[in-house]
Amino acid sequence: EDKVVQSPLSLVVHEGDTVTLNCSYEVTNFRSLLWYKQEKKAPTFLFMLTSSGIEKKSGRLSSILDKKELFSILNITATQTGDSAVYLCAVKKGTGTASKLTFGTGTRLQVTL
Amino acid sequence: EAGVAQSPRYKIIEKRQSVAFWCNPISGHATLYWYQQILGQGPKLLIQFQNNGVVDDSQLPKDRFSAERLKGVDSTLKIQPAKLEDSAVYLCASSPTGVETQYFGPGTRLLVL
């Protein structure tokens, strides 16, 4: 059975801190790993990672994938209160119209003043 | 560009009642997904449509859940009869290509009492 495990489940930090969120997976027919931010209801796309060792970066957020060890990390530097959200990791398997995502349970991040 | 629309936004029903959710995807998006997100968990795919055909409904509890996408545009998801464990947020997403380019709607929060 496919598994996507995120850690920690929950995290509280002070504004300005740096955080690292983890995602490990066991999925057959792996294609890529995606990160989403979910503030209220609709997840919004952050990154898609397909190749090992290549960092994706967007502002204060960055992510990297290790296909040998089957995990990914999402880093947020200089956190702000607006970063408070649930961060979801999802793994894509299959191709074309048969492709599907398996989501982890998410990491709930709270950034306090 | 208008996003994915869903209605209602909230619904409270008693167990054994029936309920229906509606989704209008982004114009031109051939693929439509329905996800169930139980509190504290990641979204779980219930059913995927390609135009008006079903691609994957392997995790849809077919004894009580049904979905259709007539004319390959709007979609409805129905639960009949509802159980307490159906309390969740039901997310609709649409994509022009594959899962990696899907856009999520605001979701419908269902509470079954």
CA–CA separation, B85 vs B65, rounded Å?
A: 13
Residues 6+ apart with CB under 8 A from A38: A44, A85, A86, A87, A88, A106
Q: Kindly determine whether residue A43 and residue B41, on different chains, have CB atoms separated by under 8 Å.
A: no
- Identity of the residue in B31, B42, B45 whose CB atom sits nearest the CB atom of A97: B31
- Contact (CB<8Å) A105/B55: no
> For B62-73, what is the HEC assignment?
CCCEEEECHHHC
Query: What gap in Å lies between CA A69 and CA A50, rounded to an integer?
Result: 14
CA atoms within 13 A on the CB side of A23: 29
Predicted confidence (pLDDT) per residue in B45-98, tens digit: 999 999 889 999 999 999 999 999 988 899 999 999 999 999 999 999 999 888
Q: List all residues of chain A from 11 to 50 with a beta carbon under 8 Å from chain B.
A: 32, 34, 40-44, 48
Q: Judge contact between B33 and A101, C-beta under 8 A.
A: no
Contact A41, B91 (CB under 8 A): yes
Checking B84-89 for CB contacts under 8 A at 24+ apart, the result is B84/B15, B84/B112, B84/B113, B85/B38, B85/B112, B86/B110, B86/B112, B87/B38, B87/B39, B87/B111, B87/B112, B88/B36, B88/B37, B88/B38, B88/B39, B89/A41, B89/B36, B89/B37
The segments of chain A whose pLDDT lies below 70 read none
Mutate which of A25, A99, A102, A107 to disrupt the B interface (most B C-beta within 10 Å)?
A99
CB contact under 8 A, B45 and A101: yes
pLDDT of residue A41: 76
User: Residue A35 to residues A57, B51, B55, B58, B86: CA-CA distances in angstroms?
Assistant: 12, 26, 24, 24, 26
Chain B from 21 to 60: CB within 8 A of any A CB: 31, 40-45, 48, 50, 55-56
Peptide bond between residue B61 and the one before it cis (omega within 30 degrees of 0)? no
| 3-state secondary structure at position B101 | helix
Q: Do A43 and B56 touch (CB under 8 A)?
A: no
pLDDT, tens digit, 9 for 90 and up, residues B20-34: 999 999 999 999 999
Res A17: pLDDT: 98
> Cβ B100–A99 below 8 Å, yes or no?
yes
| CA nearest neighbour of B31 among A47, A91, A101, A1 | A101
What's the mean pLDDT when you consider all of chain B?
94
Q: Which residue of A27, A97, A103 to mutate against B (max B Cβ within 10 Å)?
A: A97
Question: Residue B107 in contact with residue B6, Cβ under 8 Å?
Answer: yes
* Paired strand residues for A102: A91
